[in-house]
Amino acid sequence: MDITVFGSGYVGLVTAACFADAGNTVVCVDVDARRVETLSRGEVPFYEPGLDQMVRANFQQGRLRFTTDAAEGVSHGLFQFIAVGTPPGEDGSADLKYVLQVADTIGSLVTDYRVVVTKSTVPVGTADKVREALLAALQRRGESVEIDVVSNPEFLKEGAAISDFTKPDRIVIGTDNPRTAELMRALYAPFNHNHDRIVVMDVRSSELTKYAANAMLATRISFMNELANVAEKVGADIEKVRIGIGSDPRIGYHFIYPGCGYGGSCFPKDVKALVHTASESGHAAALLAAVEDVNQRQKRVLFENIRKHFGGDLKGRTVALWGLAFKPNTDDMREASSRVLMEALWESGASVRAFDPVAMHETRKIYGERADLALCDNAEAACEGADVLAIVTEWKQFRSPNFERLKKLLKQPTIFDGRNLYDPQLLRRQGFAYYSIGRAPVGV
């Protein structure tokens, strides 16, 4: 089938590459000429396991091409995916400027029947706005072309994007038109394995489903972080509590890991946007607002522990930092807890020696060269001459460090662990002071 994808960001590129890999012919349109050029060289401008090989292979075999030419895109695909960014506005609402620009472009150029699919995470009611923008553009031209608008939210996780796309838990299709549902069903057939994973529903329910999924997951995390703080105060161990509750199949073990807060491009933005949508509809979403507040507070827990450890004075101190990305297997630093920690440390006069297996380049892009940030070649190098060590991302390679060497490298053998990677008693025996999340500090 012929498919056009507007937007070659995270969701757009994964969508385009996976559809091309399934044998479709895909044109990916982006307004950013440099990005189009980079992609046409087979280079993916962000880190996602397996994606660059997939882009290169399909590009070379002629099933995937990149262009800035919207007319080429509109004339190519029966399916026109909108996968451009929806950045948060000042008030937390999702900014639909780019989505509606694409709708306007399609409406200005379209000559034959098209299925326009909103893939970006967009607030309830966006499909209607997209339809209005398409019709307004058609009217300007005095044309009438049949177009269907479908909501088809994307649930992929960074770091596992390809397998999430090609082996999805569910494929949500929001449309009131049975014929469009059938077209979408045929399009997704290669990814609809074992049992039928396609869920067809009305457009608004589909749009809300995406926010509901992310808000539910974010709520689980904030719930655990809230409890972690209680556990610490009452002398309980949140890791024991986690196992105790996870064994109930109604709760389950997934997404109940306490930590130093959630980040990334989805949870923070989507929870805020849902709070905004709710309030616009006349409902104050108290629970969701609390989920966000708890998360912001949680991102400061490591800093507060470090500050207290040094009696409130961090001037001239150096903190080694392991992990910069918002989670392992990505170089994405959006809303990463590491940023809150580093910025608070710098503000207090401390400096940072950081290491992340893939996010160093991204960090340099955000913060540039600065005297109070050293980007180190490996995890041990980050500890050299640092006072203490803080951990914010649970990369596998941080799980079994050589503690004897760390003790020699750090001025004080002290670890502030935002992801509960180690057994506190083991660290105490090794001679460390160890602060973690929702467990009493040991060795302090």
Closer residue to ligand UDX (CB): 161 or 200:
161
Nearest 5°: CA angle at 398, between 395 and 400?
135
415 touches 432 (CB < 8 A): yes
Taking CB under 6 A as the criterion, which residues in 312-341 touch ligand UDX?
Answer: 326-327
Q: Are 260 and 438 in contact (CB under 8 A)?
A: no
Does 264 engage in binding with ligand UDX (CB under 6 A)?
yes
Closest approach, Cβ 316 to ligand UDX, in A, equals 31
Q: Is 155 annotated as a binding residue?
A: yes
| CA distance readout (Å), 53 to 11, 17, 45, 222, 311 | 17, 10, 13, 36, 50
Q: How far is it between the farthest Cα atoms of the chain?
A: 78
The answer to whether 273 contacts ligand UDX (rule: CB under 6 A) is: no
Query: Interacting stretch for ligand UDX, rule CB under 6 A, among 105-113, 169-177, 255-263, 357-365?
Result: 255-263
Strand 318-322 versus strand 351-355 pairing type: parallel
When asked if residue 215 is in the footprint of ligand UDX (CB under 6 A), the reply is: no
- Establish if 221 lies at the interface with ligand UDX (CB under 6 A): yes
Residue from 165, 267, 322, 398 touching ligand UDX (CB under 6 A): that is 267
Q: Does 438 bind ligand UDX (CB under 6 A)?
A: no
Task: Give min distance, CB of 80 to ligand UDX, in A.
Answer: 21
442's tokens: 């040991």
Which residue among 7, 92, 168, 259 contacts ligand UDX (CB under 6 A)?
Answer: 259
SS3 content of the chain, % helix, strand, coil (to 5): 45, 15, 40
Element at 66 (helix H, strand E): strand 64-67
Q: Is 266 known to be catalytic? A: yes
What letter would DSSP give residue 276?
A: H
CA–CA distance, 183 with 3 (Å, rounded to integer): 12
Does position 263 interact with ligand UDX (CB under 6 A)? The reply is yes
192/170 Cα distance (integer angstroms): 8
Per rule CB under 6 A, is residue 157 in the interface with ligand UDX? Answer: yes
Q: How far apart are CA 423 and CA 260, in angstroms?
A: 17
C-alpha to C-alpha distance for 178 and 282, rounded to whole angstroms: 32
CB nearer to ligand UDX: pick between 262 and 395: 262
Cβ distance to ligand UDX smaller for residue 174 or 264:
264
Size of the site for ligand UDX (CB under 6 A): 18
CB 17 within 8 A of CB 64: yes
Exactly one of 262, 322, 395, 416 binds ligand UDX (CB under 6 A); which one? 262
Please report the sign of the dihedral spanned by the C-alpha atoms of residue 346, residue 348, residue 352, residue 358. negative
R_g over Cα of the chain: 24
Q: Which of 200, 266, 291, 340 binds ligand UDX (CB under 6 A)?
A: 266
Which of 156, 184, 291, 383 lies at the binding interface for ligand UDX (CB under 6 A)?
A: 156
Q: Which of 1, 135, 138, 155 binds ligand UDX (CB under 6 A)?
A: 155
Give the active site residue among 18, 28, 260, 266.
266
Binding site, residues? 30, 35, 86, 121, 155-158, 210, 255-259, 263, 269, 327, 334
Active site residues: 266
Provide the binding-site residues for ligand UDX, judged by CB under 6 A: 155-158, 214, 217, 221, 255-257, 259, 262-264, 266-267, 326-327
